[in-house]
Structures are given as C-alpha cells and as structure tokens.
C-alpha cells in the first residue's frame, strides 16, 4: 500500500463520514457554503487571507473555537481571544516557547524516556512508535503541569487530555453541559500541581515562570490547559505518521542519517518534517466566526457565519509527499495557522519531533535501517492517527 493510501485510511478511520465529505467539497469549488456546517474553504491562498484578516474573521463568536473552549478553559486563553488582550498574553508567553526554551524543557524531561531505544532496536526488539511518542508527550505534559513524570502520572496525563479532546466533533459547535462538567473536572485534576507550582512561584516549573512573567492565576492555568489539550494529540499523531511516510517513500534512511548539527543535515531534516506536516495536516480543520460582512473566494458572508478552513485539502492538494520539491508559499506552515494566531507551541512540537528522531539516529549510525513491520489505524479519534506503528532495525 502506498504512503498516501495509508494516509487515506488514517483519515477515514478517524472521520469516516466527515473526511470524504470535506474532501469532496473541493470539487464544487474552492469556497462552498454547506448548510449546517458553514462556509468551507479548500483553497490555501483564500484560507491564508481569512486567517490574516482579523477585522472580518475571529476565533471568538458563533461557530468559532471560543464556543468549544471558553466553558472549559475560561475566557483568558489564546484559543479564544482577539485584539490587544490576545497580543498582550501572547507576548507574555512568547519567552516560554522560543526554540531555546523548549529545547531546554524537552532536554530535561524527555531523554530519559527515550534512553535505550536504539539499543533495544539494535538488539532485535520491535518497538511501537505510537507508544514511545505517547510516553514522550505525556512526560512533557508532566513537565508543564508540575506532575512528577512517573509511569502512572504520564499515562494518566495522556488519558486525561485525550478524554477531553475526544469530545470535539466538527458538526458540534459547542460541548453539552455534561461534557463541559467532565472536561472541567478532568482539567482541574490535571492542573492541580500546576496551580500549586504557580502559587508557590517555583521558577523551575512552567507555571512558576508564568507567574514571574506577570500572568494572572487564571491566565496561567488557562495557558497550561490550552497547551496540554492542543499539543498532546497533535504530537502523538504526527511522529508515527512522519516515520511511516518517510519509510513508505524511501526517505526514512536519509532522515535518520541526517546530522542536525550540520547546516545540510538540519536543512534535510527540516524539509522532510515540514513536508510530512503538510501531508498529515495536524490541524485538519480550522474555524473562524465572521465579524463583519465580507466576501470569501467570491462567496458573500455575513456576521455570525461560520468559516470552516479545510486545512487538509489546502495542504494535501499542493502535491504528493516530496521533500525535494519547491515550497508553495501559500501553503507553507498553514497547518500551524497564520497571522496573530500562528501556533505559539510550534517550537515545542518540533522539539519533541527532534527528540524522537535523535533517539532513532544511532540505528542509522550503526548501518541499520528502521523498517515498519506492522501498523494499525486509530478509529473514532479527533486527530487522525495510527493506533500502533511497530518498527524494527533491519
């Protein structure tokens, strides 16, 4: 089965009805109004225009992310803010998510989790990349919330985050009251150590540093919750799909052999990872609410309309997986958004990707290849993913 055929299975496993419907809409035009869903945008250039135009399109309002997350996280998180308040909070948080800061966070929390991985592979053991990535992501959650990264804590953190994210569906504009109560209770348990760290002003913790930066308690807890919810499923989905895509297309050996400490090696790794992000589109759909009458790709919209940006179509239609191909400027990094809401957590996600690739590099250094020997697709999840991806050293 080809790389893109596997990606189709992954997408349909997660959304057997919505995914083919969304992909089919692009045949009707780049922008299509769908009753009950909204105005669906399948063109990258048009999508970027919407994301950059905050005068007409907002993350706050009917059909926007605010309807889903404000009841759970509160009113002061980047997911549901606009204007000067959003800019102020983003500036306050920016220092915590610089490439250097996140590398330090990952370097402290992750290497021990992945220690021994290459030795296990070289000794003939088969390893599930999905499980390894989940442990890595869970350990980072623990680092952000102040939980001690024991096996139990890591597992509980991942399960807690997944139970909330799994409530979200494209056709559902808001969570039900019972779902909100469940999500708030889960986040309260997950964030309790973060709250303690914030109140004690411990500078060795992320919440403690947020207090140092001047964030209120409400803002700090909202930020922790938002990054936990938006980052866990994304990274757990992407890393196994990156490995599978690279293996299926003959790029995995080159990816793992690339030395990221050299200019050439870093560039090669960056292109392969970026191209895999384009194909997998870790944020398959983005939502905006129309603030004022406008025209989107020739379709007139009015205040209160919902814009559904089909990121998966915008990105996937730029061509097959090919890290050697020129980058389409309209598509570049679109999966992380654009404009003032460009994903602040991107460096943290990439740092976790690098940690897993660095852990696999010694297999290539030993003259062996990492081969995919078994895989299965996750079903009924929000972010399309493999349920398992088993590899061995060939």
- Return mean pLDDT, the chain: 88
pLDDT band, very low/low/confident/very high, at 44 (cuts 50, 70, 90): very high
Q: What is the pLDDT of residue 232?
A: 75
Q: Could you give the percent of the chain with pLDDT greater than 90? A: 51
Give the domain extent around 303: 3-393
Number of separate domains in the chain:
1
Sign of CA dihedral 278, 283, 289, 291: negative
| Nearest residue to 250 (alpha-carbon basis) of 352, 372, 332, 353 | 372
CA-CA-CA-CA dihedral for 130, 131, 136, 137, to nearest 10: 70
Place of tokens 């807690």: 160
List all residues 6 or more positions away from 79 whose beta carbon is below 8 Å from its beta carbon.
59, 65, 66, 69, 73, 226, 230
The set of residues, in sequence order, having a beta carbon less than 8 Å from that of 69 and lying 6+ positions away, is: 77, 79, 80, 226, 229
Residue 322 has what DSSP assignment?
-
**The whole model's pTM is what?**
0.89
How confident is the model over 238-255, as pLDDT tens digits? 999 999 999 999 999 999
Burial class (CB in 10 A: 0-12, 13-18, 19+), 263: exposed
C-alpha distances in Å from residue 97, one per residue of 106, 338, 346, 347, 378: 11, 17, 8, 6, 30
CATH, residue 43: 1.10.630.10
Q: Is 174 exposed, middle or buried (0-12, 13-18, 19+ CB in 10 A)?
A: middle
The string of pLDDT tens digits covering residues 87-142 is: 888 888 888 888 888 888 888 777 778 888 999 999 999 999 999 998 888 888 77
Q: Let me know: does 224 contact 191? Beta carbons within 8 Å.
A: yes
């Amino acid at each position: 089965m080809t790389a893109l055929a596997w990606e189709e299975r992954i997408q349909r496993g997660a959304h057997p009805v919505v995914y083919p419907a969304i992909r089919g809409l692009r045949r009707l035009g780049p922008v299509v109004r769908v009753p009950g869903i909204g105005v669906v945008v399948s063109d990258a250039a048009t999508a970027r225009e919407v994301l950059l135009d905050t005068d007409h399109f907002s993350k706050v309002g009917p059909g926007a992310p605010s309807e889903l997350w404000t009841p759970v996280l509160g009113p002061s998180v980047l997911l549901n803010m606009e204007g000067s308040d959003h800019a102020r909070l983003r500036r306050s948080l920016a220092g915590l998510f610089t490439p250097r800061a996140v590398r330090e966070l990952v370097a402290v929390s992750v290497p021990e989790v992945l220690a021994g991985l290459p030795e296990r592979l070289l000794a003939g053991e088969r390893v599930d990349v999905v499980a390894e990535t989940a442990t890595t992501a869970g350990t980072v959650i623990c680092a952000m919330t102040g939980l001690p990264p024991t096996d139990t804590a890591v597992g509980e953190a991942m399960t807690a985050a997944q139970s909330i994210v799994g409530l979200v569906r494209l056709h559902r504009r808001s969570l039900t009251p019972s779902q909100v109560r469940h999500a708030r209770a889960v986040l309260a348990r997950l964030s309790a150590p973060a709250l303690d760290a914030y109140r004690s002003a411990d500078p060795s913790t992320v919440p403690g540093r947020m207090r140092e930066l001047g964030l209120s308690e409400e803002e700090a807890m909202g930020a922790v919750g938002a990054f936990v919810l938006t980052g866990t499923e994304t990274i757990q989905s992407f890393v196994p799909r990156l490995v599978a895509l690279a293996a299926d297309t003959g790029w995995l050996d080159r990816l793992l052999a690339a030395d990221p400490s050299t200019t050439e090696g870093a560039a090669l790794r960056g292109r392969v990872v970026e191209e895999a992000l384009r194909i997998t589109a870790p944020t398959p759909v983005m939502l905006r609410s129309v603030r004022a009458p406008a025209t989107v790709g020739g379709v007139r919209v009015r205040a209160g309309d919902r814009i559904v940006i089909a990121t998966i179509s915008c990105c996937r239609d730029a061509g097959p997986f090919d890290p050697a191909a020129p980058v389409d400027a309209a598509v570049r990094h679109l999966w992380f958004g654009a404009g003032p809401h460009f994903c602040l957590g991107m460096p943290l996600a990439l740092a976790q990707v690098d940690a897993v690739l660095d852990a696999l590099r010694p297999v290539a250094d030993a003259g062996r290849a990492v081969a995919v020997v078994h895989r299965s697709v996750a079903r009924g999840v929000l972010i399309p993913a493999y349920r398992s991806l088993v590899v061995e050293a060939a």
